[in-house]
Amino acid sequence: MGSYVIDSELFRDQFSTEFSRRIFSDENTVQKWLDIEAALARVQGRLGIIPAEAATEIERVARVEFLDLASMKREMDRTSHPIVPLLRAIQALCSGNAGEYVHWGATTQDIMDTGTVMQIREVLDGIEEGMKIVLDHVCTLADRHRATVMAGRSHGQQALPITFGFKAAGWAAEIQRSLDRLQQMRPRVLIGQFSGAVGTLAALGDQGDAVQRGLMEELGLNLPVITWHTSRDSIAELMCTLAIAASTLGKMAHEVYSLQKTEFAELEEPFSPGKVGSSTMPHKRNPPACEGIVALARVVRASAGLGIETMLADHERDKIVLQMEREFLGRTCCMVDAAIRKTAAVMRGLTVRPDNMRRNLNIQKGLLMSEPIMFALSGRFGKQEAHEMVYELCMTAFEQGTPLKDALLAHPLIGQQLQPAEIDSMLDPNGYTGMAGVFVDRVLERASVHRTGSLPQAAG
């Protein structure tokens, strides 16, 4: 096993995906640095700041496959610096004196911050697409089960009837809000960094603005209004937004986990022959995918605090917060990506058991429907008095295990007010789901702007 789960050959697919691991790999990280150095040289070559032929040569060699990463790592250890070894490697690859013009007017953090933002852009594209696919599967469930009645629960106890479509629509609405947040934060997060040693671009004189604008256009990133070397609020916003999204997925998975319990058996995550629940109890059908999603959501949520912590940066440059980001940013994105793909697989193949939902509606022998009874009696006895009457009957029926209908008919006052057929109608959960269907329709209508795409099946 690796020292961290994302590095483990055995466990890495439980905490990341090949897609996200590639984005935050050493090869892609270094290639992003090279892309920035090449783009900077192109811009400066056009502006006449460096020779045009030097810019062409720098661009020619700016390919990670030309570098020996093991040698670069040894130089990083020797110099205690991440970018100087890269610049020396580029210089060695360039013909003539072209290497003298690489990194002109830039500082290390410019390259590293901008490279990180480019990786964030890549992973956000996948995260947003994945969230849209989860939304699509959840909306399908909401539509299909718009009228599938089940017990709504509050404080862990049965409360009133809802529909499973209504529950799924609640999930869908949360996913939509996360998609909105992901879109809305992009202009604030996908900002490049090119500011020089302390953020003033003094080394480039009056050409600093032109270089900065040209570089951001080349890279397709937003232009910074001012340096953000020690203004890490955009990273903090990213982390908090990802934590909210992951928490929604965790909530959904935990709901499936809870409703898959033997005593409920209303939902079940996808099961296929060969999936083993226990090494000693052959009958077990566990929910490992949902358990994994909840675990990922909790770790991501805990990591959001580290994003906030990096905002406490010192003066104009502070490597401490950069070291922190290097630890949590990539793994957090990997975990969110994994949680999304697992959730997509669960929602796509979710087993819904309406028969068990109907069975559970009647498990309390009518007590679930105390509210409509109370309101029916309110017009005759007043709301507060009706509540007291029905409360006493319900508590007695609960303790004695008798049906609520029998208790109502036996009551000297209520039995005279309500006929058996009338009580049967009020005790029917199918007739007391309120505007559940209307709310489902509202959510589905709004979701149409987000729904798209497909994802490969995730590991369980």
Note whether 150 and 264 are same-domain residues.
yes
Please count the structural domains in the chain.
3
Note whether 418 and 355 are same-domain residues.
no
Q: What is the pLDDT of residue 458?
A: 43
Specify the CATH number for the domain of residue 403.
1.10.40.30
Cα angle at 288 between 287 and 290, to 5 degrees? Answer: 70
CB 246 within 8 A of CB 301: yes
Note whether 29 and 170 are same-domain residues.
no
Residue at which a domain ends, from 56, 76, 104: 104
Cβ burial, residue 371 (10 Å; 0-12/13-18/19+): middle
Q: Around Cβ 263, how many Cβ atoms within 10 Å?
A: 7
Note whether 278 and 308 are same-domain residues.
yes
pLDDT, mean of residues 6-13 = 90
CB 106 within 8 A of CB 192: no
Closest CA relative to residue 38, chosen from 94, 97, 109: 94
Determine phi and psi for 80, rounding to 5 degrees. 55, 35
Q: What is the pLDDT of residue 1?
A: 55
Q: What is the pLDDT of residue 454?
A: 44
Q: Is 22 helix (H, G, I), strand (E, B) or coil?
A: helix
Q: Is residue 460 over pLDDT 50?
A: no
Q: Looking at the domain assignment, is residue 82 inside a domain?
A: yes
Element (H, E) at 408: helix 404-410
Q: Is residue 456 over pLDDT 50?
A: no
Q: Looking at the domain assignment, is residue 156 inside a domain?
A: yes
State the chain's maximal CA–CA distance in angstroms: 105
Percent of the chain with pLDDT strictly greater than 90: 86
Q: Is residue 425 over pLDDT 60?
A: yes
Note whether 390 and 405 are same-domain residues.
yes
Q: Looking at the domain assignment, is residue 273 inside a domain?
A: yes
Q: Is residue 453 over pLDDT 50?
A: no
* Sign of CA pseudo-dihedral 430, 433, 434, 440: negative
Tell me the C-alpha distance between 307 and 4, whole Å: 20
Please give the residue that has the higher pLDDT: either 205 or 281: 205
What is the chain's mean pLDDT, rounded?
A: 94
For residue 167, what pLDDT band results from cuts at 50, 70 and 90?
Answer: very high
**What DSSP character marks residue 224?**
P
CB 165 within 8 A of CB 143: yes
Note whether 395 and 299 are same-domain residues.
no
Closest CA relative to residue 124, chosen from 310, 428, 340, 305: 340
Q: Looking at the domain assignment, is residue 67 inside a domain?
A: yes
Structure tokens at 378: 């309110």
Q: Among this protein's residues, is 278 annotated catalytic?
A: yes
Note whether 46 and 192 are same-domain residues.
no
Q: Which one is catalytic: 3, 80, 154, 155?
A: 155
CB 184 within 8 A of CB 218: no
Q: What is the pLDDT of residue 194?
A: 98
Q: Looking at the domain assignment, is residue 10 inside a domain?
A: no
Beta strand ranges found along 109-244 (DSSP E): 149-154, 157-163
For residue 70, what pLDDT band results from cuts at 50, 70 and 90?
Answer: very high
Q: What is the pLDDT of residue 278?
A: 66
Structure tokens at 397: 């029926």
Q: Which one is catalytic: 71, 81, 95, 278?
A: 278
CB 330 within 8 A of CB 32: no
Q: What is the pLDDT of residue 285?
A: 87
Structural domain including 395 reads 367-426
Q: Looking at the domain assignment, is residue 110 inside a domain?
A: no
pLDDT tens track for 303-347: 999 999 999 999 999 999 999 999 999 999 999 999 999 999 999
Q: Is residue 450 over pLDDT 60?
A: yes
**What DSSP character marks residue 222?**
B
Residue at which a domain ends, from 40, 75, 104: 104
pLDDT, mean of residues 289-296 = 97
Q: Looking at the domain assignment, is residue 412 inside a domain?
A: yes
Contacts of 434 by beta carbon, 8 Å cutoff, 6+ apart: none
For residue 455, what pLDDT band results from cuts at 50, 70 and 90?
Answer: very low
Q: How far is CA 229 from the centre of its chain?
A: 27
Specify the CATH number for the domain of residue 328.
1.20.200.10
Note whether 153 and 60 are same-domain residues.
no
Q: What is the pLDDT of residue 451?
A: 63
Q: Looking at the domain assignment, is residue 13 inside a domain?
A: no
Note whether 375 and 286 are same-domain residues.
no
162 DSSP β-pair partners: 150
Q: Among this protein's residues, is 20 annotated catalytic?
A: no
Q: Using the structure block, give the residue that is written with the tokens 């007695």.
A: 396
Specify the CATH number for the domain of residue 60.
1.10.275.10
Residue at which a domain ends, from 75, 104, 133: 104
pTM of the prediction?
0.93
pLDDT, mean of residues 63-69 = 96
Note whether 147 and 198 are same-domain residues.
yes
pLDDT tens track for 212-254: 999 999 999 999 999 999 999 999 999 999 999 999 999 999 9
Please give the residue that has the higher pLDDT: either 142 or 273: 142
Q: Around Cβ 390, how many Cβ atoms within 10 Å?
A: 25
Note whether 87 and 187 are same-domain residues.
no
Note whether 305 and 174 are same-domain residues.
yes
Tell me the C-alpha distance between 409 and 413, whole Å: 9
pLDDT tens track for 79-132: 999 999 999 999 999 999 999 999 999 999 999 999 999 999 999 999 999 999
Cβ burial, residue 436 (10 Å; 0-12/13-18/19+): buried
